[in-house]
Structure 1
Amino acid sequence: MTATYYISVGEVSDKLLRQVASKRNMSPEDLARSYVLSGLENTRFQGVRYLTACVITAAVVLFGVWLLSISLPSPVIGPKALHWIREFTFLFAPWPLTILLALWIVARSETSFPMLLGLFGALRRIKLFGAEIELNEQTKRRIQSAASEIELALREYKTRADKELVRIVARYQVEQALSKFIDSGSVKSLTLKRDKGFRCTIHIPDPIRDGRLYQLVDYCPSGLGRGREFSTRFGIIGKVWRTEGPLLENDLLTPQVQRTHEEEIDKIMSDWGMDRREAESALKHRSYFCFPLVHENRKVGLLYMDAEEKDSFDGTKQSDVSARAQEELAPLVAKVLDDSATVSLHVELD
């Protein structure tokens, strides 16, 4: 149960409180609350200054003892005088025993440990590039709130960017070009065992976030997926994007050995950077073919194909398919990238 306290302040104090709150971008209520909490904390750790003074004094004395312990010729104090001063000091301050006694007192005391923690209170406020940041619960809540607002703003912006990309894709008839491409003779010769599980799509660099890939169109000839985002470390598309080389896998689970379902899932997760849900979905498509789309020496996207059956692709035909895609699809994808520059952010949040 939270108790509420009401404190009366004068007109001058109220005006000053509002001025300070405005400079700190806080509400007067939050500022007053921070003052109260700061005062309570200072009261709780009121012995901190005393303890700090003791520690500094002890450090100075130890440093002085160290100076006395080294052999230095001195025209003022002779070696015999240094010897007696050192002996006198250690007589009244047996430092190993003193340190052990201090540790025992701290361990047994109910207030010493909070006092020691209070020594680090100065570390909760730092100055960086002229700005002062106080590391407390209120700052934590502010940062969390700002992060949530940024995430919400990015989602709203992505929705608008998706709509703009749909318009650009329709302008250059990318989906029609992809449909025509997969019905071409070169692609049909690649997919001699094509069944209803065959599908193809295009990925481009994500316009919003760096380090991610964006599915530009729905799967062709049928299927959804447009607008999905993937990490550049995800699956075959991530590997091809990073290595910039084509990759054809006629069996997702190589080498072909007897495995249980759980062992198959574990292998996919280990080999292709997927979580369990993604691995379960990937297991439904055993054959994969993916290669970069390059236009005027610029990597503009990826062409991705998969099929449900193993050994669905003829590896000897992949160069013909890639050459045709560079000629027919890569220029269109490059135009989409150029036109989408007005909505691209390319922020890095991961």
Structure 2
Amino acid sequence: MNEKPDRDDRSSKKLTSSCLYVGGTCFLCVALSILTIILFLSILFAALDVRLGFQSTSFRTLLISVFYAVCVPSISFLAEIIKSLFPWPILLILVLALIAWGPNRIRDLLSSAKFELPGGFKFDGGSAPPDIFRKEMGDAQRAVERANKEIEQAYDGAKIYVSQLRDRYDINKLVGDLALKVADAIGDNCPSDYRLTLYVPDLVFSDRLYQLSEYYDKKGNRVSEGRSGRAFSIRYGVIGRVWRSGVDEIEGELISADDRAQLGSAASGENLDKFIARRWGLTLDEVFKIRPYQSYGAIRLDGGGKSLGVIFFDSKLMNAFGNETLLREKIRSLIRESKLTLSLLEINLELAPWSRIQIFRNL
């Protein structure tokens, strides 16, 4: 009974010694399992007629396969639709119509196009420059029209206020008296068409002169109607030049002898008109209005350290005012004796708090 257990132990040791262990795992058992699986798969593939091996694949061959499997059928499908909807005669007519329409129109059409393609690609041609300019000009035109209406209303109010100022400071009488005294200073040769008026700083714009009074003749009587209330640029004619410079001017010829000598044979007709326009800062239409007046005078009135106004007188006769230098001194003396300068200073102080519109400004 003691020998049987010994035989069992020996058989167990014999079986154990036939395995090859690697880290506690039987290597021979694993190899046998793998071979068994390969054999099973070989029998299965042979039964299903599965070909052995495989073709090598690259990214290029994959793209080609996708192109032929997906893109070509899609393109063919779209081509069939286009051919059915747009036969070639219709396409030919469309091309000819576009050519006749003109490349400029096509460019304008494309430049104003806006579209977005799949993938986030956006095209925004924007509005054609002429359209943008036309729109901006339209907006500016409407803004200017509104501003012009408001300016007209401002001048309407200014005329009412100026009428009150004229009455309060007796401007009409003072200008009439000064016209009479200037005519007396000119002497017996004072022409019958002599006239005098007064300009002051404009009430609305900072770069304009406002005609405060009507014209008065050599007897101090009013000889015009509806001339007061007009506004002129400070760059207009002799009144603008005297206002800006403060230099008095009295001349007996619209075109001086030196200017006529410089012009020579061109001192007539259209060439003369253009010369006057350049010399006096006028338009040709304005030249047509002033050209008959050969003699003129403009003197600035100053007081209290301020420029208060400009008196202006003229005549259609050439050399109508005699000795210009002597007359200038006499008029200066008359202005100092007149109450007109004091009245204009009071008006200027009354209008000082007003803010005027400034259009042009040098930057």
TM norm. shorter chain > 0.5:
yes
Q: Which runs of 5+ in 2 are unaligned?
A: 1-108, 218-222
Residues 323, 141 of structure 1: alpha-carbon distance in 2 compared, 3 angstrom cutoff: same
Contact 1:200 1:220 in 2 (8 A): yes
Report the alpha carbon displacement of residue 260 of structure 1 after superposing the two structures with TM: 2.4
2:178 aligned to 178, 181, 184, which one? 181
- 2:161 pairs with 1:164: yes
Give the Cα–Cα distance (whole angstroms) in 2 for the partners of residues 49 and 244 of structure 1: 73
Q: State whether residues 203 and 356 of structure 2, in contact with CA within 8 Å, keep that contact through their aligned partners in structure 1.
A: yes
Amino acid at match of 1:232: I
Question: Which residue pairs with 1:349 in the alignment?
Answer: 359
Structure index of larger Rg: 2
Q: Given the alignment, which residue of 342, 348, 355 partners 1:337? A: 348
Mapping of residues 149-298 of structure 1, within 5 Å: 149-184=146-181, 187-190=183-186, 192-221=188-217, 222-224=223-225, 225-255=227-257, 256=260, 259-298=267-306
Q: 2:331 aligns with which of 321, 324, 329?
A: 321
CA offsets 1:256-290 (integer angstroms, 9 cap, x no match): 45632323312211110111121111111111111
| One-letter code aligned to 2:204 | I
Q: Report sequence identity in percent.
A: 19
Quick check: 1:204–1:301 contact (8 Å CA) kept in 2? yes
User: Tell me, which stretches of 5 or more residues in structure 1 are unaligned?
Assistant: 1-39, 54-114, 124-134
CA positional deviation for 1:169? 0.9
Aligned residue pair count: 235
Cα gap change, 1:248 to 1:46, in 2 (>3 Å): same
Kindly provide the amino acid, as one letter, of the partner of residue 329 in structure 2: S
Distance between the aligned counterparts of 2:341 and 2:189, measured in 1?
26
How far, CA to CA, are the matches of 2:118 and 2:175 in structure 1? Answer: 74
CA distance in 2 between counterparts of 1:176 and 1:345 reads 29
SS at structure 2 position matched to 1:274: coil
- Of 297, 314, 325, 1:306 maps to 314
Amino acid of the residue matched to residue 213 of structure 1? L
Pairs within 5 Å for 1:25-64: 44-46=113-115
1:47 to partner: Cα distance: 5.3
Relative contact order, higher structure (CA 8 A, sep 6+): 1
Query: Retained in 1: the 8 A contact 2:247–2:299?
Result: yes
Determine the C-alpha separation between the residues in 1 that align with 2:199 and 2:336: 14
CA distance in 1, matches of 2:161, 2:110: 53
Superposed CA RMSD: 3.2
Offset at residue 323 of structure 1 (A): 2.8
**1:224-263 deviation digits (Å, cap 9, x = unpaired):** 4101111111100111111111111210112245632323
SS of structure 1 residue aligned to 2:115: coil
Question: Match for residue 142 of structure 2?
Answer: 145
2:328 partner amino acid: Q
